[in-house]
Amino acid sequence: MAKGRVEVLEEYCKSCGLCVAACPMKVLRISEKINSKGYRPVEQYKEGCIACKMCAMTCPDAAIEVYKIEDNQ
Amino acid sequence: MKETKIYERPKSWKKGVHTHYCPGCGHGITHRILCEVIDELGIQEKTIGIAPVGCAAMMYDYIDVDFCEAAHGRAPALATGLKRTRPDQVVFTYQGDGDLASIGTAEIVHVANRGEKITTIFINNAIYGMTGGQMAPTTLVGQRATTCPEGRDPNLAGYPMRMCELLATLKTPAYIARVSVAQPKYIIEAKKAIKKAFEYQISGKGYSFVEVLSNCPTNWGMQPVKAFEWTVSAMMPYYPLGVFKDFDKEAE
Amino acid sequence: MARVLMKGTEAIAEAAIQAGCKYFFGYPITPQNEIPEYMSAKLPKIGGAYVQAESEVAAINMVMGGGATGTKIMTSSSSPGISLMSEGLSYIAGCEIPAVIVNVMRAGPGLGGILPAQGDYFQATKGGGNGDYRLLVLAPSTLQEAVDLTQLAFDLAFKYRNPVMILADGFMGQMMEAVEIKEYKGQDYDVVPWALGNMEKRGKRTILKSLYLDPGDLEHHNIKLNEKYKKMQEEEVRYEEFYADDADVLIAAFGTTARIAKSAIVNLRKEGKKVGMVRPITLFPFPYDVIKERASKAKHVLVMEMNMGQMLEDVKLAVGERTPVSFFGHAGGISHSVKEIEEKIREIL
Ligand SMILES: Cc1ncc(C[n+]2csc(CCOP(=O)(O)OP(=O)(O)O)c2C)c(N)n1
Ligand code: SF4
Ligand code: SF4
Ligand code: SF4
Ligand SMILES: [Mg+2]
Q: The domain that contains A10 carries what CATH number?
A: 3.30.70.20
Atom 1 in ligand 4: residue holding the nearest Cα: B129
The helix/strand/coil state of C115 is coil
State if residue A54 touches ligand 3 by the CB under 6 angstroms criterion.
no
CA distance C24 to C50: 5
Chain A partners within 8 Å of B32 (Cβ): 59-60, 62
Q: For residue B100, which residues of chain C lie inside 8 Å, CB to CB?
A: none
**DSSP H stretches of helix in chain C:** 8-18, 34-42, 56-68, 79-95, 121-126, 143-160, 170-174, 199-202, 215-235, 255-270, 288-297, 311-319, 338-348
**What is the pLDDT, as a whole number, of residue A71?**
83
Give the pLDDT confidence score for residue B248 in this predicted structure.
82
pLDDT digits (tens, 9 = 90+) for C27-38: 999 999 999 999
CB A19 near ligand 3, within 6 Å: yes
pLDDT surpassing 70 at residue C294: yes
Phi, psi of C134 (to 5 degrees): -135, 145
Assess contact for B175 and B166: CB atoms under 8 A: no
CB contact under 8 A, C209 and B84: no
Helical H runs in chain B? 26-41, 75-85, 97-98, 105-114, 154-157, 163-168, 184-202, 217-220, 224-230, 236-238, 247-251
Closest partner residue to B6 (CB to CB) among A15, A20, A67 is A67
Please give the distance of CA B249 from its chain centroid, rounded to a whole number: 23
The residues of B whose Cβ lies within 8 A of any Cβ of C are 44-46, 48, 51, 57-58, 60, 64-71, 74, 76-86, 88-89, 106-107, 109-110, 114
* Distance from the B232 Cα atom to the nearest Cα atom in chain A, whole angstroms: 14
B4-24 pLDDT per residue, tens:
999 999 999 999 999 999 999
Please provide the CATH number assigned to the domain covering C239-348. Answer: 3.40.50.920
Class of the CATH-defined domain B26-251:
alpha beta
Answer yes or no: is pLDDT of C1 > 70. no
Question: What pLDDT does residue C185 have?
Answer: 84
Angle (CA) C86 C92 C93, round 5°: 90
Whether residue A10 has pLDDT greater than 60 = yes
pTM value? 0.97
Q: A66 and chain B: CB distance < 8 Å anywhere?
A: yes
Below-70 pLDDT ranges, chain B: 252
Where are chain B's structural domains?
26-251
CA distance B95 to chain C (A): 15
How sure is the predictor about C127, in pLDDT bands with cuts at 50, 70 and 90?
A: confident
Q: Report how many domains make up chain A.
A: 1
Whether B23 sits inside 8 A of A62 (CB atoms) is no
Interface ipTM > 0.95: yes
Are C199 and B45 in contact (CB < 8 Å)?
yes
Find the CB nearest C91 among B45, B67, B71: B71
Tell me which residue range forms the domain holding A16.
Answer: 3-69
Domain C4-235 listed as CATH 3.40.50.970: yes
Residues of chain C with CATH 3.40.50.920: 239-348
Q: Dihedral angle at the C-alpha atoms of C225, C228, C234, C236, nearest 10 degrees? A: -110
Q: Which residues contact B219 (CB under 8 A, 6 or more apart)?
A: B127, B128, B129, B132, B133, B145, B146
Name the residue with the closest Cα to ligand 2, atom 6: A55
Cβ of B224 within 8 Å of Cβ of A18? The answer is yes
- Ligand 2, atom 3: nearest CA belongs to which residue? A49
From CA C234, how far away is CA C239, in angstroms rounded? Answer: 13
Structure letter (DSSP) for residue C142: S
Cβ distance of A61 and B228 shorter than 8 Å: no
Could you write out the DSSP letters of every residue in C229-298? HHHHHHH---EEEES-TT-SEEEE--HHHHHHHHHHHHHHHHTT--EEEEEESEEES--HHHHHHHHHH-
Select from A57, A67, A71 the residue whose CB has the most chain B CBs within 10 Å, as the one to mutate to test that interface: A57
CATH 3.40.50.970 segments of chain C: 4-235
